[in-house]
Amino acid sequence: MSTVKRVAYAILQHYGAMSHERLELFTYYSYAHYLSSTNLNLFSNGFQAWKNGPVCLELFNSCLFSLDLVCAQNIILSPCEFSKTFECSMLREIYSVCDVLDNFSTASLGVRVRSELPWVDARKGVGRDCACDVEISHKLIHDYYAKHPVVNVSEVVLHSNRSENGIRVLKGVRLKSLKNAEDERRRALDEAYAMSNISQHARLVEENILNSISRLREFNNLEDDSSRSRARLIARRFSRQICECERQAVRRENLQKNLDLLKKQTNADAKDADDADAKPNA
């Protein structure tokens, strides 16, 4: 079983940005087709019978702050969802449905779903323009679309090549994202290790300085020449440690600046790469 956000991500990655209503329709019909053809749930979430059509509340909340169109980047996957591999058999079922539905307008798909029994039954006794949060029956979805398939078998075969291409593209995008995440993790570890070494060295210098100060205080009131000479030697060493501490502070500042510049450059390169990948799809 997958999750509704993973299914939505797979749809958006293959078909590009679309309206929230169209995404809900694609997700609903993918769920209905998978349930009626395999007797298994595509994901655990249900759909409420809103006035314009079925709506999965979790998917709606995920895209709540999107603009007119929802894109794959708007779907925030958890680390667990992101790390799981998409099952090819599941993707074939999803894409086989959406490849056919992609030939129809959002308005025509909305008219179709509002004429079908699962949505109509859930809104019994509710006015046409009234809000409704009743969940559409899973059993009714299964039984209805088992008798009235979302798409015909002949249409699925016709679009099989496009579905396979979509699966390959999605896997490539996922592998690239995983590699980028691993590279970012390694850079963060390297930065943390460098900063840890700097901090450790600074603490050692600080301890040495404090020890030198305590020794100077011991000879503060001594009058004999040998004690004064010893105090002068400690003072000179103390001065050298002060200079070394200042040099280390400058090194830390320079290292931090270099790390910030490297991070900005990496983000700029990643953005340029995303823009370059987006241009062929435009």
For residue 91, give the amino acid letter.
L
Cα 100 to Cα 150: distance, rounded to the nearest angstrom: 9
pLDDT value, residue 208: 74
Cα separation of 21 and 80, whole Å?
A: 27
Q: What contacts 54, CB < 8 A, 6 or more positions away?
A: 24, 25, 28, 47, 48, 113, 118, 119, 136
- Split at pLDDT 50, 70, 90, the class of 92 is confident
32 CA to centre of own chain: 26
Q: What is the pLDDT of residue 89?
A: 80
| CA–CA gap between residue 184 and residue 189 (Å, rounded) | 9
Lowest-pLDDT choice from 133-142, 179-188, 195-204, 220-229: 220-229
The two tokens of residue 264 are: 């900005």
Rounded to the nearest integer, the mean pLDDT of the chain is 79
Q: List 69's β-bridge partners, or say none.
A: 19
Is residue 56's pLDDT more than 90?
Answer: yes
**Averaged over 232-250, what is the pLDDT?**
70
How far is it, in rounded angstroms, from Cα 93 to Cα 40? 12
| Residue 137 dihedral angles phi and psi, to the nearest 5° | -65, 130
pLDDT digits (tens, 9 = 90+) for 98-118: 989 999 999 999 999 999 999
Q: Which residues pair with 50 in a beta bridge?
A: 53
DSSP label at 46?
A: -
DSSP string, 167-189: HHHHHHHHHHHHHHHHHHHHHHH
**Phi, psi (5° rounding) for residue 77?**
-90, 145
Contact 154, 132 (CB under 8 A): no
Residue 173 CB neighbour total at 10 angstroms: 16
Whether 6 and 72 have beta carbons less than 8 Å apart is answered as no
Mean pLDDT lowest among 95-104, 107-116, 121-130, 168-177: 168-177
Secondary structure tally for the chain: helices H, strands E: 11, 4
Report the pLDDT value the prediction gives residue 186, as an integer from 0 to 100.
74
Residue with tokens 């691993």: 182
